[in-house]
């Protein structure tokens, strides 16, 4: 392999590594449910003009946080697929499996890190949700590669 190919391989991994760093960096108190609840409540008041009833707000807040898991790991799954695929085109199940496995490693690390943050709660369910997000990205990639 010539040096130019190494540079291309490294450059393909940089977006996935940076996005994983963003995900892991968000596993802090700043992005805890308490803080995200505050900004979501402010946003709702600006849009609706008043706060939601507590029960409705709690449901919406949970939905927003879980959708964020799907989205952030969907992006990670796509970036990992792109890196694993390398210069080849198309779709191979092997690349998708490796991408989801790597996303699983990031998700497990993320939840393990949250164990040490008092305002965060680690959850195996979140790891499953994160893997689902990465898996959805693989399905979308497969669908789009057929076109």
pLDDT at residue 3, as a whole number: 60
pLDDT at residue 147, as a whole number: 53
pLDDT at residue 110, as a whole number: 94
pTM: 0.89
pLDDT at residue 145, as a whole number: 83
Number of domains in the chain: 1
pLDDT at residue 1, as a whole number: 55
User: Which parts of the chain have pLDDT scores under 50?
Assistant: none
- pLDDT tens digit sequence for 102-123: 999 999 999 999 999 888 888 9
The residue length of the chain stands at: 147
**Residue 136 belongs to domain spanning:** 3-145
């Amino acid at each position: 392999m010539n040096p130019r190919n190494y540079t291309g391989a490294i450059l393909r991994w940089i977006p996935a590594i940076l996005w994983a760093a963003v995900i892991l960096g968000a596993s802090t108190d700043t992005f805890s449910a308490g803080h995200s609840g505050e900004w979501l409540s402010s946003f709702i008041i600006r849009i609706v003009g008043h706060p939601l009833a507590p029960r409705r707000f709690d449901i919406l807040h949970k939905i927003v946080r879980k959708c964020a898991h799907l989205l952030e790991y969907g992006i990670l799954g796509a970036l990992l697929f792109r890196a694993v695929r390398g210069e080849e085109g198309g779709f191979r199940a092997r690349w998708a499996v490796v991408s989801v496995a790597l996303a699983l490693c990031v998700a497990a690390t993320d939840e393990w890190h949250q164990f040490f943050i008092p305002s965060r709660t680690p959850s195996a369910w979140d790891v499953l949700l994160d893997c689902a997000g990465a898996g959805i990205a693989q399905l979308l990639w497969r669908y789009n590669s057929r076109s």
